């Protein structure tokens, strides 16, 4: 069996890359739903439908453990998948993990008391970060900011506009020392670390999920040795997307490296599922 990684697009390749670096032997299957990207402006029902489809595809590729790298999917679909879909499916022994709580735990472990989070419109609207934070430590404050233009600019070659858009989004968040730590609450934003540091002039620390998820995964596997034993360790990686274009192939190479070979997992409307 293998480790599955799911994202709405290619941003999650950064997490796949950092997991591969820390765990060179583990077999990984990545799925990016490029056909339906961006998830961030869609309804909860649609995000759930896409997420369940992606999870079913990764299960069909023999993944017994899946990381939902996408914050928007973690926000909206994860709990329902864990609590309703998994127990009812024939995959009840499999596990799906998200990224929101591990990210907050990391910020708290660093001792930060004034957090900020930037994320897609949907993630911010659901208030998942403040809600989960309150459960863990209600004494810590969090300022949220929806940054919906970032993913379209990243995905559509709009790099030249990113600094001004980031400045517009971040200025109010960082003024008067309002926050001491900024959570990048979207897979794509890890790509923007340098630009964000330039704008914040290093006045806030960044929490980027590509830097924390590999260690969280290692901890999880250490705590679940039965699951760990079942995962194949041949160092194999497979990358699937639901729509392939030249642009996506180039972006995948830029994010992951030249050695990436992305393949199509096609949505079959008659079967209502992703197939090879
Ligand atoms: N991957 C999504 C996330 O982490 C952002 C991109 C999208 O809107 O689909 O929230």
What averages of pLDDT result for each successive group of 10 residues across the chain (276 residues)? 96 96 97 94 95 97 97 95 89 92 97 97 96 97 96 85 96 91 96 94 93 97 94 97 92 90 97 96
Give exposure, 171-186, as e/b (b: 16+ Cβ within 10 Å). eebbeeeebbbbbbbb
Tell which atom from ligand 1 comes closest to the C-alpha of 151. 6
Neighbouring CB atoms inside 10 A of 89's CB total 14
Specify the pLDDT at position 170.
96
Contact between residue 262 and residue 19 where contact means Cβ atoms under 8 Å apart: no
Check if CATH label 3.40.50.1860 holds for domain 101-210: yes
Specify the pLDDT at position 92.
81
Q: Whose Cα sits closest to atom 6 in ligand 1?
A: 38
pTM, full prediction: 0.95
Specify the pLDDT at position 176.
84
Let me know the angle formed at the C-alpha of 180 by 179 and 185, rounded to the nearest 5 degrees: 75
CA of 42 to the centre of ligand 1 (A): 11
CATH no., domain 2-98+211-275: 3.40.50.1860
Rounded CA separation 265/263 (Å): 7
Strand ranges in the chain using DSSP code E only, listed in sequence order: 2-7, 28-32, 63-68, 95-97, 114-119, 141-146, 181-184, 205-208, 237-241, 262-264, 266-268, 273-275
Q: Which of 148, 191, 183 is nearest to 38 (CA)?
A: 148
Specify the pLDDT at position 32.
97
Tell which atom from ligand 1 comes closest to the C-alpha of 187. 4
Specify the pLDDT at position 243.
97
CATH 3.40.50.1860 residue ranges for the chain: 2-98+211-275, 101-210
Report the DSSP pairing between strands 95-97 and 237-241: unpaired
Using CB distances shorter than 6 Å, the residues near ligand 1 are 7-9, 11, 37-40, 70-72, 120, 123, 151, 186-188
CA of 226 to the centre of ligand 1 (A): 31
Specify the pLDDT at position 155.
78
Tell which atom from ligand 1 comes closest to the C-alpha of 189. 4
Strand partners, 28: 3, 237
């Amino acid at each position: 069996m293998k480790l599955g990684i799911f994202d709405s697009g290619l941003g999650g390749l950064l997490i796949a890359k950092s997991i591969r670096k820390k765990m060179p032997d583990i077999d990984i299957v990545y799925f990016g739903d490029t056909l339906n990207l961006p998830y961030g402006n869609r309804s909860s029902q649609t995000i759930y439908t896409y997420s369940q489809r992606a999870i079913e595809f990764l299960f069909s590729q023999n993944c017994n453990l899946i990381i939902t790298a996408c914050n928007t999917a973690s926000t909206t679909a994860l709990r329902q998948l864990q609590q309703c879909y998994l127990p009812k499916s024939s995959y009840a022994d499999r596990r799906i993990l998200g990224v929101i709580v591990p990210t907050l735990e990391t910020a708290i472990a660093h001792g930060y008391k004034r957090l900020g989070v930037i994320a897609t419109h949907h993630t911010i609207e659901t208030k998942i970060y403040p809600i989960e934070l309150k459960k863990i430590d209600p004494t810590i404050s969090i300022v949220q900011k929806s940054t919906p233009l970032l993913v379209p600019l990243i995905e559509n070659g709009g790099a030249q506009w990113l600094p001004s858009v980031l400045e517009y989004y971040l200025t109010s968040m960082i003024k008067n020392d309002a926050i001491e730590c900024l959570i990048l609450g979207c897979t794509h934003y890890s790509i923007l670390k340098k630009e964000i540091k330039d704008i914040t002039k290093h006045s806030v620390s960044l929490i980027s999920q590509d830097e924390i998820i590999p260690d969280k995964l290692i901890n999880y596997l250490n705590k679940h040795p039965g699951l760990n034993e079942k995962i194949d360790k041949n160092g194999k990686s497979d990358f699937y997307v639901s729509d392939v274009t030249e642009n996506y192939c180039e972006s995948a190479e830029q994010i992951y490296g030249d050695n990436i070979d992305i393949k199509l997992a096609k949505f079959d409307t008659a079967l209502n599922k992703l197939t090879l």
